[in-house]
A and B are shown apart, each in its own frame.
Chain A
Amino acid sequence: MNSPTNQPVTSAPRDNSGTKDPAVPIWLIVVLFLLVYWGAVYFDEHGGWFDSQVYTPYVSAEQLKTFQVSGGPNPFEEGRAVYAKTCVACHQANGQGAPGTFPPLAGSDWVNEPQPGRMIRIVLQGFSGPGLTIKGQPFNTGSAMVPWNGLSDDDLAAVITFVRGNKEWGNNASPVTPEQVHAIREKVKNHPLSFTPAEIEQISPAD
């Protein structure tokens, strides 16, 4: 209050303003705080925390995880898709292969063994070498089977299940789980690529 007393009343507010009253009224701060709080709650419930996989109507990554389609079709059908991509070029769509070059899978003893261990090894690491006879036909040419250890355990299990259980080809062996493939993958990790028939014969069929 340093204005002279003889000043007109109308000019007084100019000097008074901003000295004691806060610049922002308290109620506005409260309203702003409530708005920010509401915004934060709304974001928490609907924002999905900026996860690039969470879209409406899902609200969080955890919720999306619980709404995945369980089960799905059988691995046999998945194996058919893997076979069509990776195996069909050599072993052919009917699993008969080509005489003298690519061994048949249909009705082969190597495929229809009770335990899948040997077949998993062949698919994982590849296969080549002399002395291979399947269904009475020799396969002594230089063409070797490529190792498919780049495929995932799931894909390998599916395709081996498809080949072993394909009744249209006359095969009827047990299905294979990704865990079995994984176990063998760990065992043969240090084996050089390409098994030979003699090496496979030495492995116990149950292993």
Chain B
Amino acid sequence: MRYGPIVFLAAFLTLSASWCGFVLTPQIQLGRAVQETNSVVKAELYPQGRPGLARAGLEVYRADGCFYCHSQQVDQKKTLVDVFLTDAGKTPTAVAQALEDAHAGTFSAPGLAAGLPKPVLRNATMESASVLASLLKKAGATAELHLAPAGPDIERGWGARRTVAQDFISDSTVMLGSQRVGPDLANVGARLPDENWQLMHLYAPRSVTKDSPMPSYPFLFERRKTGQHPAPDALQQLPKEFAPPAGYEIVPKPEARALVAYLLSLRSDTPLYEAPLTPPAPPAAATNAPAK
């Protein structure tokens, strides 16, 4: 073993370099992450943390191995940008020229100031949007960017934006998952917010989704004789082929309730600094006026 110390040293340096890169550096960068402000509603902190029942549900999620088939990470390939002209400035001819230079189309200078804010570029790449924004700024106009994250995951409706490290800081076990036998669950609380649907789906997946390959989890529920007072939380809307025989009822156990609370707490649609997006416009205020 003439080369023993050298081999040892080389192996040690190799392993410690990768430890520094994969463990130490991320720990320094993200290990002390705290709640940060929502980038649009500044008074709201993110993430809010999970309520107690949802925290218990995380353990059920882990114990039942949901992470074997479900991931919780949304990918984002690009951001599509709409450029809105908010103020045409004092030199509309220069602004119209800037729009033409950026290939945003031909606009007549006198008509620019009408109907602001108006879109001048739709679904553009980030590059062409920043070119146009800087040209408009030079021409004395102001523009606003509307950001729409895009990518296969987002087109499937799995999230409003990509997931980032900030999404996971309130969980001590992060259920990132690596396989996608089932859909991604990072935003399931926002896209399937119906508690009853979730419970039926856990008890009999094919009762709500016809060709679902998901196993059913009947052990999270109790089948018991309907007594004099039927349980108010028994599953009500099960289709015939999944419903218990007459005189019986299916009642969710606390585990099922906790798991559903956890699923409903999974959301990643908050605009953040590192994953900006323009939230959809809020619906118009409720009114009693008759519909037009």
Contacts and interface: CB of A to CB of B under 8 A. Distances in A.
Interface of A: 50, 52-58, 63-64, 66-73, 77-79, 81-82, 85, 154-155, 158
Given A66-B130, A70-B145, A55 B162 contact: yes
Given A67-B79, A155-B42, 12 more contacts: A52-B26, A52-B165, A55-B164, A56-B162, A58-B274, A63-B130, A64-B273, A66-B133, A69-B277, A73-B40, A78-B42, A81-B43
A69 B162 contact: no
B153 to A, nearest CB: 12
Main secondary structure of the interface of B (DSSP, over half): loop
A55 B274 contact: yes
B42 A158 contact: yes
Greatest chain A CB density within 10 A among B26, B42, B81 is at B42
B160 to A, nearest CB: 13
Contacts of B120: none
Interface in B1-55: 25-26, 29-30, 39-44
A72 B162 CA distance: 20
A158 B44 CA distance: 12
Contacts of A82: 43
B252 interface: no
Given A52-B165, A81-B44, A57 B126 contact: yes
Contact of B41 (A55, A64, A67, A81): A81
B77 interface: yes
A67 B147 contact: yes
A102 B146 CA distance: 43
Interface in B267-291: 271, 273-278
B64 to A, nearest CB: 30
A54 B274 contact: yes
Nearest to B134: A66
A70 B277 CA distance: 10
A68 B276 contact: yes
A65 to B, nearest CB: 9
Contacts of A155: 42-43
A58 B144 CA distance: 18
Given A55-B162, A57-B78, A67 B145 contact: yes
Nearest to A66: B130
Nearest to B151: A57
A55 B43 contact: no
Contacts of A52: 26, 29-30, 165
A182 B271 CA distance: 27
B83 to A, nearest CB: 11
A69 to B, nearest CB: 5
A82 B41 CA distance: 10
Interface in B151-196: 162, 164-165
B283 to A, nearest CB: 14
Contact of A73 (B41, B77, B126, B164): B41
A92 to B, nearest CB: 19
B272 to A, nearest CB: 9
20 contacts: A50-B25, A50-B29, A52-B30, A54-B274, A55-B76, A55-B164, A55-B274, A56-B75, A57-B77, A66-B133, A69-B146, A69-B147, A70-B144, A72-B39, A72-B41, A72-B42, A81-B41, A155-B42, A155-B43, A158-B43
